[in-house]
Homo-oligomer: A and B are copies of this chain.
C-alpha cells in the first residue's frame, strides 16, 4: 500500500522495462494474477502506473511479458510450424523442451508456481488463469492443430485425419497437452518426486515428447480406431 505515483526515475527505457518486469514477477508470484495490480507493480518499480501501461498495455500483456510463459504462445506456434517442416524433431518434443528451458530460470518457476497456488486457493484466480490459458495458449494451439488437420500443414495432420479438424476437438487436444505439462511441473518442482525431479531434460523430452505429439495429432478419443483400444464404447466398465 505504498504510493503508486512515485516519480518515474528512468535509467534508460530497457532498464526501466526490466525493473517493471521484475516487480511484476514478484507481485504475480506473491499475490496471483488478481492480487497484483498495475498500481502496486508500478509502486514497487518506482515508476508511474501510466508508464507501465505505456510499455506493456494491459495487465494481460504485462502478465505475458513478466511470466516469460513456460510455453509462450508465439513459441508454440513457431514450434508447431517447425514441427511441420522438420520431421526429425516432433512438435511434441519441441513443446516440452521449450517448457523445460523456460523453467530453468528460477524466476519463471517462482511465478509459475505462484499462479498455480493462487488458482488452488481462489476460485477467482483460477478463473482468471483459466481464461488466460484458454485465450493465450489453448486457442492458438487449437487453431494450429485444427488448420493442420484440415490439410494445411501435413506434419500436424498425423493419424487424426481431416474429419476431426474441428475447434472443440483441437481445444481438447491442447488441454491434454496442458495437463501433462502442468503435471510435470507439479511432480518435478512442487512435490519434487525424486526420479522425476532429477531426470535430465533429454530423458524428459524422450518420455513426454511422444505423449504431447500423440495428444496433438493421434487417435485419442473413445470409439476411435486407436491401435490399442478398438472401439472404446464397447469396453466393459471395470
Q: Is A50 an interface residue (CB 8 A)?
A: no
Report B-chain residues with C-beta under 8 Å of the C-beta of A213.
228
Decide: A180 and B178 in contact? CB cutoff 8 A: no
Distance from A146 Cβ to chain B, minimum over Cβ atoms (Å): 13
- Which residue of the partner chain, among B117, B184, B228, contacts A183 with CB atoms under 8 Å? B184
Which residues of A in the span 180-235 have a Cβ within 8 Å of any Cβ on B? 180-184, 186-188, 190-196, 199-200, 202-203, 205-211, 213-215, 220-224, 226, 228-229, 232-233, 235
Report B-chain residues with C-beta under 8 Å of the C-beta of A206.
220-224, 226, 229, 232
Report B-chain residues with C-beta under 8 Å of the C-beta of A117.
117, 120-121
> Which of the segments A5-13, A33-41, A65-73, A126-134 contacts the partner chain?
A126-134
Residues of A within 8 A of B (CB): 88-90, 93-94, 97-98, 101, 113, 116-117, 119-121, 126, 129-130, 133-134, 138, 168, 171-172, 175-176, 178-184, 186-188, 190-196, 199-200, 202-203, 205-211, 213-215, 220-224, 226, 228-229, 232-233, 235-236, 238
